[in-house]
Amino acid sequence: MNIEKMTRRQLIGLAAVATAAAVTDWDDASRTVGRVEAATMKHGGSGGGKAEQVAPGVWRIRFGKPEKLTPLSFRTAPIHKEGFSSLTPCDQPPFSLDDITFRTTGRGCAVTLPMTTEERIFGFGLNTKLFDKTDRRVFLRPSDDPEGSLGDSHAPVPFYVSTEGYGVYMDTARYASFYSGNVAPTAVRGATGAGGGPADNTQDLYRQRTLSAKTMLVDVPSAEGVDVYIFGGPAMGDAVCRYNLFSGGGAPPPLWGLGVAYRGKGDFSAADSLKLAQTLRDEKMPCDIWGVEPGWQTKTYSCSFVWNTGKFPNPDGFIREMRGLGYRTSFWEHAFTHSSSPIHKDLEPFSGDYRVWDGLVPDFAGKSARTIFGRYQDKVLYAKGADSVKLDECDNQPDSATPWSFPEASSFPSGLDGEQYHSLIGALYQQTMWEPLRRRNKRTWGLVRNAHALAAPLPYVVYSDSYDHRCYVRGLVNAGFSGLLWTPEVRDAGSPEELCRRIGTVIFSPYAMVNAWYIALPPWIQVNRDKNNAGEPMPEQASTTDAVRSLFQLRMSLLPYLYSAFHSYAETGTPPTRALVMDWPDDKASHAVDDQFLCGPSLMVAPMFTGQTNRDVYLPPGLWYDYWTGEKLAGGRKIEGVSKPLDQVPLYVRDNTLLPLAEPIEHVTSDTRFALIVRVYGDTPTPVTLYADDGETYDYEHGALNRVTLSWNGGKGEIVTKGGYTGPERYEVVRWTPMG
């Protein structure tokens, strides 16, 4: 394979294989793609570092001697250069790069960046409890607890954005700390604002103060240098797009990936799964993805990757039968490889020097482990027809006295240590498991428990074991700042109300999953665990089933819209779900909103939470429409007392939107044809482009893609289709409906 001659799209996902012959090679290849390839447009010193523009509106400043193994050395895809043309140009750095300072310490190195006292900082990866990250320390440690108060989570990302319209990425796999305006350099006198003079006593103590002069301090342990990347705007959203395009652009899902996902009980046999899968069809409950455990955990919990033949006597047949029912399959696994596994012996030399659950920790940074592991998984999963995987347990327990994962002091054959590998294992594991499917020209849509920087091109959605509906919404709001996809999966629910409210959120996420891993019946039959497993339906089963079906149908009616939003993610870097502040950075009221989010270009969701009879909704400036009533609403204000029944969600449409809504289908097929009702909001609606292709291969990269542009002019709808896709037609507009 000659990396020089491959197209960008060919490189995505395969790049790792192509170049991982040795880590050095891979690293060099990455530099070729991500660093040197881009024309050097501007030079200049800054804080002793050498600055160069590495992509339009993206500057790199190299300080000191950066570590060799960083997130960028393992990038999933090359920079999506073409995508930058869709953005407002940005020729000048957002602030003087000379204002960045760098120094090494015995501990590692430190970078300071300028801040204004007014700007607000967001990002740093997934977070379910924190939103505004200004005036605090953020500590980027991967954790199995997404609720950490210092910023540790399943997916910490050393990238932040500012309401001043820029982003900063520090290329490090270290557990870096960011002090976003709450430290006082000695050189800046009086920064605390408060005056001098005597105070009475210690009772005067610990008053929280805002500094009157701010800097961002970044503490990168162990490293003697670091590459700092500055992403210009002009607006915050543009900086996020630049970061995502720099990462390679967002991952386009297969069409079925945007359908509804259901994970059956952990101990389900093939027969159990087939039976319940049929029941869902009988109930006309939309569902595209079926999740199941193949039973290859051993008694120590590490994986043998050997099918449990008691439960799955014929895996191929099971997958085929599920497919016959219209389901794609998603199989659970984790990477820690038990000695009884057929690949254990081959893998041992290419693993870390500490075990987890008596299992090997494969070094996915090296070609050997990737090949041994990936080829075997290809054989036992993908060759049998499996469509996707759920990659569990690849995080860490930094606050546990008895962490089960490998220690930070681990060493790996690639040269990574345990700290770096904890940051990178999620991405590397995803790459390893994605590669065989890329080779099969098959798109996938998976789940993963750990992610980090530059994750946009990876077709995996981060999930969590933790559980709070408000936190889950906040996770969704935050993920969009950092090139992450997150699912607020529905699992625990204390009542039919809670179940419906949670489903009302998850249907607007990248992965609309009900995770019923410990209950035999679907939760809409019975939310109580014990009663569910005793086979006892709840009294409200009929009304709950209807409400859930309605919500799932809403999801299915949005499939064309969402597919389009994900194509935008791939092509322009625009996150499919995101915070209000990302689109309205100058609207201060939007800065604080972390319980509403934007979904795609035109919709805003304001989930209701259990126990609420109504809620307040903030409408950013502009005109809005209630999705359900069509009522026209002036924005730039809070509306109070919003209430929707259990089968609905407070949902708002931006002015001048063409919203294509499909007749809901139960699941995607190769010849799915969406019957569209196009709602017309406002007087001069922006045209909307839908994407038509086979929905499951990468042929679209070679032209097998149609862009179907809907526009509304002079009271009349127009459809223009362009492109080289020749398969079954995907869209048929049955009606244009002007709203209000």
**Residues 126 to 145 in contact with its own copies, rule: CB under 8 A:** 130, 135-138
725: which residues sit within 8 A by CB, 6+ positions away?
692, 693, 694, 700, 704, 705, 706
Q: Which is nearer to its own copies, 160 or 625 (CB)?
A: 160
For 32, counting Cβ atoms within 10 Å of its Cβ (0-12 exposed, 13-18 middle, 19+ buried), the class is middle
CA 456 to each of CA 19, 143, 165, 485, 547: distance values in angstroms, whole numbers, following the listed order: 20, 20, 20, 8, 33
Distance CA 562, CA 557 (A): 10
Distance CA 309, CA 323 (A): 20
125 touching its own copies, by CB under 8 A: no
Q: Which is nearer to its own copies, 384 or 390 (CB)?
A: 390
Residues 609-668 that bind its own copies (CB under 8 A): none
CB of 233 to its own copies, least distance (A): 27
Residues 142-171 that bind its own copies (CB under 8 A): 149-151
Q: Which is nearer to its own copies, 310 or 539 (CB)?
A: 310
Residues 360-379 that bind its own copies (CB under 8 A): 360-361
Q: Which is nearer to its own copies, 298 or 430 (CB)?
A: 298
Total number of residues that touch its own copies (CB under 8 A): 100
221 touching its own copies, by CB under 8 A: yes
Angle at 388 between CA 387 and CA 390, to 5 degrees: 155
For 44, the token pair is 């200049």
Distance CA 344, CA 651 (A): 51
Contact window for its own copies (CB under 8 A) among 15-23, 282-290, 337-345, 555-563: 337-345
Find residue 49's DSSP bridge partners. Answer: 46
Residues 248-267 that bind its own copies (CB under 8 A): 266-267
DSSP string, 58-81: EEEEEEEE--S--GGGG-SS---G
The total of other beta-carbon atoms located within 10 Å of residue 289's CB is 27
CB of 25 to its own copies, least distance (A): 19
Residues 577-596 that bind its own copies (CB under 8 A): none
207 touching its own copies, by CB under 8 A: yes
Q: Where are the beta strands (DSSP E) in 385-464?
A: 388-391, 446-448, 460-462
Which of 726, 718, 722 has its CA nearest to residue 687? 718
530 touching its own copies, by CB under 8 A: no
CA 510 to each of CA 163, 392, 465, 590, 705: distance values in angstroms, whole numbers, following the listed order: 25, 18, 17, 23, 22
517 touching its own copies, by CB under 8 A: yes
CB of 662 to its own copies, least distance (A): 36
CB of 200 to its own copies, least distance (A): 5
CB of 399 to its own copies, least distance (A): 7
Distance CA 447, CA 430 (A): 9
Which of 624, 679, 628 has its CA nearest to residue 653? 624
CB of 177 to its own copies, least distance (A): 7
Residues 64-123 that bind its own copies (CB under 8 A): 67, 69, 103, 105-108, 110
Q: Which is nearer to its own copies, 84 or 406 (CB)?
A: 406
Which of 315, 438, 338 has its CA nearest to residue 385? 315
Q: Is 236 in a helix, a strand, or coil?
A: helix
CB of 215 to its own copies, least distance (A): 10
Q: Which is nearer to its own copies, 221 or 622 (CB)?
A: 221
23 touching its own copies, by CB under 8 A: no
Q: Which of 4, 204, 530, 640 binds its own copies (CB under 8 A)?
A: 204
Contact window for its own copies (CB under 8 A) among 216-224, 227-235, 553-561, 665-673: 216-224
CB of 159 to its own copies, least distance (A): 19
CB of 349 to its own copies, least distance (A): 10
47 close to 23: Cβ distance less than 8 angstroms: no
358 touching its own copies, by CB under 8 A: yes
Q: Where are the beta strands (DSSP E) in 366-486?
A: 388-391, 446-448, 460-462
CB of 710 to its own copies, least distance (A): 45
Residues 174-193 that bind its own copies (CB under 8 A): 174, 177, 179, 182-187, 189-192
Residues 291-310 that bind its own copies (CB under 8 A): 293, 295-301, 304, 306, 308, 310
Q: Which is nearer to its own copies, 419 or 540 (CB)?
A: 419
Strand 603-605 and strand 651-654: the pairing is antiparallel
Q: Which of 5, 43, 208, 714 binds its own copies (CB under 8 A)?
A: 208
Which of 111, 40, 97, 82 has its CA nearest to residue 241? 82
Q: Where are the beta strands (DSSP E) in 454-541?
A: 460-462, 512-515
Q: Which is nearer to its own copies, 517 or 624 (CB)?
A: 517
Q: Which is nearer to its own copies, 174 or 654 (CB)?
A: 174
Q: Is 142 in a helix, a strand, or coil?
A: strand
Q: Which of 88, 118, 518, 631 binds its own copies (CB under 8 A)?
A: 518
CB of 211 to its own copies, least distance (A): 9
CA 348 to each of CA 56, 278, 345, 361, 435: distance values in angstroms, whole numbers, following the listed order: 44, 42, 5, 9, 21
677 touching its own copies, by CB under 8 A: no
Q: Which is nearer to its own copies, 222 or 371 (CB)?
A: 222
CB of 303 to its own copies, least distance (A): 10
Backbone torsions φ then ψ of 166, nearest 5 degrees: -155, 165
CB of 404 to its own copies, least distance (A): 7
Q: Which of 357, 463, 597, 652 binds its own copies (CB under 8 A)?
A: 357
Which of 452, 586, 501 has its CA nearest to residue 75? 452
CB of 310 to its own copies, least distance (A): 8
438 close to 13: Cβ distance less than 8 angstroms: yes
Q: Which of 206, 641, 715, 716 binds its own copies (CB under 8 A)?
A: 206
Distance of CA 193 to the CA centre of its chain: 40
Using left for φ > 0, alpha for ψ between -120 and 50, and beta otherwise, residue 414 falls in: alpha
Find residue 692's DSSP bridge partners. Answer: 706
CB of 185 to its own copies, least distance (A): 6
Provide the mask over 392-431, with x wherever binding to its own copies is found by CB under 8 A and - wherever it is not: x------xxxxxx-xxxxxx---xxxxxx-----------
Q: Which is nearer to its own copies, 3 or 183 (CB)?
A: 183
Q: Which is nearer to its own copies, 413 or 723 (CB)?
A: 413
Q: Which is nearer to its own copies, 95 or 354 (CB)?
A: 354
407: which residues sit within 8 A by CB, 6+ positions away?
354, 418
CB of 686 to its own copies, least distance (A): 41
Q: Which of 2, 4, 201, 641 binds its own copies (CB under 8 A)?
A: 201
Distance CA 363, CA 69 (A): 13
